[in-house]
């Protein structure tokens, strides 16, 4: 006699992922039977894991993106506000701590601190980027001594930052700002006198100028306002004494290059192209620093 197996009660299905389990619950989206291990709570009933993952993927794909592919944020000026706050906080610290902050953190190529005793110079204590203090390339971009200096730079940051942050997205805007700051300090390191001490966010701000011009061109906006403003700042750069024009030009060029790569990258491989452009700019900065260091200490 053939052996008979008991059949499940009529209407009781088996989980589509675990065929050995019987269940009376079905996914509210696809109506497939699901066991307790496969039930994912939803606003109404339960959903199966496949529908949940598909819904999440669709949600990510439908998420609005910026022109450069970044995520649209609720506050499009958050990073701008944070950068502004950092600059102001460091400015207050410099006022409270004195010039030593500037000497220790300002942009300096390679110089001696001039240690003397009874008018005789001792064994020189070398300081500067060439002596290994590479952090100066960045810290100098957050240092200000004069109220007019930080005032003009922060006005430029507040004027240019939010629109760029909104168009690029937060992470891309941070990359633009920092690479512009590094590039400004690097060109100062390469071209300025090795004993020249400089500071300020001007390199980063000029990077924002260059990026704004690229963005305006990409969106086919009237470029005359930004070009006039940029021209005025360039005239000031080369006519006023005591301005590190190298930082301005370095930041301007780097900002324009980074922004061009970000807003013109093809959609199908946008992120890869943007990373490559930023990496290329960073590589130029590092190479220039290494060559200059070899010249100074060699």
Q: What percent of the chain has pLDDT over 70?
A: 89
| Cα(164)–Cα(208) distance, integer angstroms | 8
Alpha-helix residue ranges (DSSP H) falling in the chain: 49-62, 78-97, 100-105, 136-139, 147-168, 170-191, 202-218, 224-239, 245-263, 270-297
Question: Is residue 122 scored above 50 in pLDDT?
Answer: no
Is residue 198 flagged as an active site residue? no
Backbone angles phi, psi at 15, to 5 degrees: -55, 135
Render pLDDT for 223-267 as a digit per residue (tens, 0 to 9).
Answer: 898 999 999 989 988 888 888 899 999 999 999 999 999 999 998
Lowest-confidence segment of 53-62, 82-91, 146-155, 265-274 by average pLDDT: 53-62
Please, are residues 133 and 123 in contact by the beta-carbon 8 Å criterion? no
Look up the CATH number of domain 79-297.
1.20.1540.10
Instruction: Name which residue leads in pLDDT, 101 or 295.
Output: 295
Q: Which residues pair with 293 in a beta bridge?
A: none
Render pLDDT for 271-295 as a digit per residue (tens, 0 to 9).
Answer: 999 999 999 999 999 999 999 999 9
pTM of the model: 0.77
Angle at 236 between CA 232 and CA 239, to 5 degrees: 135
Which of 198, 202, 241, 264 is labelled catalytic?
Answer: 202
Lowest-confidence segment of 109-123, 138-152, 180-194, 215-229 by average pLDDT: 109-123
Is residue 202 flagged as an active site residue? yes
Please, are residues 259 and 219 in contact by the beta-carbon 8 Å criterion? no
């Amino acid at each position: 006699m053939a052996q008979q197996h008991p059949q499940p009660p009529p209407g009781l299905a088996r989980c589509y992922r675990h065929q050995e389990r019987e269940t009376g619950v079905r996914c509210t989206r696809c109506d497939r039977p699901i066991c307790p291990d496969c039930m994912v709570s939803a606003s109404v009933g339960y959903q199966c894991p496949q529908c949940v993952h598909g819904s999440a993927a669709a949600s990510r794909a439908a998420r609005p993106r910026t022109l450069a592919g970044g995520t649209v944020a609720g506050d499009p000026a958050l990073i701008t506000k944070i950068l502004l706050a950092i600059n102001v906080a460091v400015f207050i610290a410099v006022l409270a701590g004195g010039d030593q902050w500037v000497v220790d953190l300002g942009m300096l190529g390679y110089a001696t601190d001039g240690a003397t005793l009874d008018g005789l110079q001792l064994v020189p204590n070398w300081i500067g980027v060439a002596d290994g203090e590479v952090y100066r390339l960045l810290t100098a971009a957050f240092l200000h001594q004069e109220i007019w200096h930080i005032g003009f730079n922060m006005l430029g940051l507040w004027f240019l930052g939010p629109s760029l942050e909104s168009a690029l997205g937060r992470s891309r805007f941070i990359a633009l700002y920092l690479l512009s700051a590094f590039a400004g300090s690097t060109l100062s390191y390469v071209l300025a006198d090795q004993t020249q001490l400089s500071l300020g966010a001007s390199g980063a701000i000029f990077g924002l100028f260059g990026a704004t011009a690229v963005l305006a061109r990409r969106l086919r906006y009237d470029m005359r306002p930004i070009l006039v403003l940029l021209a005025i700042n360039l005239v000031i750069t080369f006519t006023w004494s005591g301005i590190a024009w190298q930082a301005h030009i370095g930041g301007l060029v780097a900002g324009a290059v980074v922004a061009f790569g970000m807003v013109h990258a093809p959609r199908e491989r946008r992120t890869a192209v943007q990373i490559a452009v930023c990496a290329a700019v960073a590589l130029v900065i590092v190479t220039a620093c290494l060559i200059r260091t070899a010249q100074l200490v060699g």
